[in-house]
Amino acid sequence: SVYFNVIIWYIFLFEKVLGFFPPSVEEISKDGKSWLVCTSCLPFCTCICLLSALHVLHFLPLPGSEIAVYEGDILLRRGRRSAINCDSCLWPKSQDGLVKISPGPLLFLAITERSWIADALQEISTLTCVQFVNRTTETDYVYVERGCWSYFGKIGGRQAVGLVKNGCMDKGAIQHEMNHALGFIHEQARSDRDRFVKIMWEHIVAGNFGKMNSKNLGLPYDYSSVMHYGAYDFSSTPGKPTIVPVPDPSIPIGQRDGLSNLDVAKINKLYKCNCCSSVLPKPKGSFSSVNYPSPYPNNSNCLWLIRIRRSKIFLQFEAFDLQRSSDCSSDYIKIYNGNSKSSPVLLDKYCGKGPLPSLVASGSTMLVEFASDESITATGFRASYNRGFNLKTQRYLAVRNICIPIDVHNSLHKQVLP
């Protein structure tokens, strides 16, 4: 009938073109099974037709496929239990040394959801050679569906990843699922995990805590990884942990604030990226140029991403000595008000000897870039950061997010102020 044909076209518009369920239908999970239910007041017959047709379109197995759900959120092809041991699961590298992945259109998402996903993927792009670029004619690409899951490594063609669901829209949760697509297992599934955590089998819902024969890339176990389960995940008994760090059970696990330093290192090592980058996620800390206080190396290009949860960032330099050049074109430091080089500039290229102004980010991330050329070097820099302002007794003049000590602001180089 015409009525049924309209329903079918309605389904195809949402499911096949936009890639998600119609607004009258919602997927829910219970006891490890997926169900489709009506969520609107459409006529009963319309709802039944929608559910029936969606069942055929969405759950029909692909001919010859051998895909199973593994550990709750991984769609796994048989024989590919760890992309760390599977070169054919990796995304290819371009001639320019970048691994370019194209997410499909996010038309069905709200603006806020799009921004959350973009922010999470940008952090990966900033710190690694994996770059998320707009799709043009690529035949292998990822596209976002509703859910919280991912295929394991690159499978080819139109590759779905579930990112839109309550509990799956935190930055670290989005990165967690995308890291599965890049070819990473759960951290506590590493072959050496028993040296670092104890699995409390008596508190566990069946499955979800398998161990793989992984090579681990020669990098340490990472309690802070976005790929690590939380202490109470999949617990069959409220208040009872399923995974306990050893020997210190108080070590926090399961954070979803964003990539850890070792998460970044693993991506860069697996994909053979030539990147010098670090994450600074603690409420306060310090960092310095390579070899400080000895001279930094030639031809350096390093990034530090300061990320403090729900707080502005205050940055100050305690020592600063970079090769001086015209317009700081040789060696320089540059600071961005955000998590990428496309973010607004807080401090443009700056070189020579201090003093350097203190800076305040308007949000919870700040990116510090340091570059050197092939010639003369100097001792470099040492800097510290903390949450918000900590100006002690020094009087400061605030200019465009730059805090300039009043007794030195008249002697600043022209490169300081944007």
Residue 180 in marked binding region: yes
SS3 state of residue 161: strand
Q: Which of 71, 123, 145, 177 is catalytic?
A: 177
Closest CA to 401 of 350, 356, 365, 357: 357
CB 209 within 8 Å of CB 188: yes
| 15 in catalytic set | no
Q: Say how many C-beta atoms besides its own lie within 10 A of residue 163's C-beta.
A: 29
The Cα–Cα gap between 116 and 169 comes to 7
Sign of CA dihedral 84, 89, 94, 95: positive
Can you list the positions of beta strands (E) in 39-173?
67-70, 74-77, 99-101, 130-132, 141-146, 149-151, 158-164
Closest CA to 267 of 182, 174, 172, 369: 182
CB 44 within 8 Å of CB 34: no
Write the single-letter amino acid at 351.
C
Would you state the structure tokens that stand for residue 184, as one six-digit string?
């990473």
Rg (CA), the chain: 25
Residue 413 in marked binding region: no
Closest CA to 309 of 345, 334, 284, 344: 284
In terms of Cβ atoms closer than 10 Å to its own Cβ (0-12, 13-18, 19+), residue 255 is middle
CB 305 within 8 Å of CB 365: yes
Count Cα neighbours of 208 within 13 Å in the Cβ-side half-sphere.
Answer: 20
Instruction: Name the binding residues for Zn(2+).
Output: 176, 180, 186
Catalytic residue set: 177
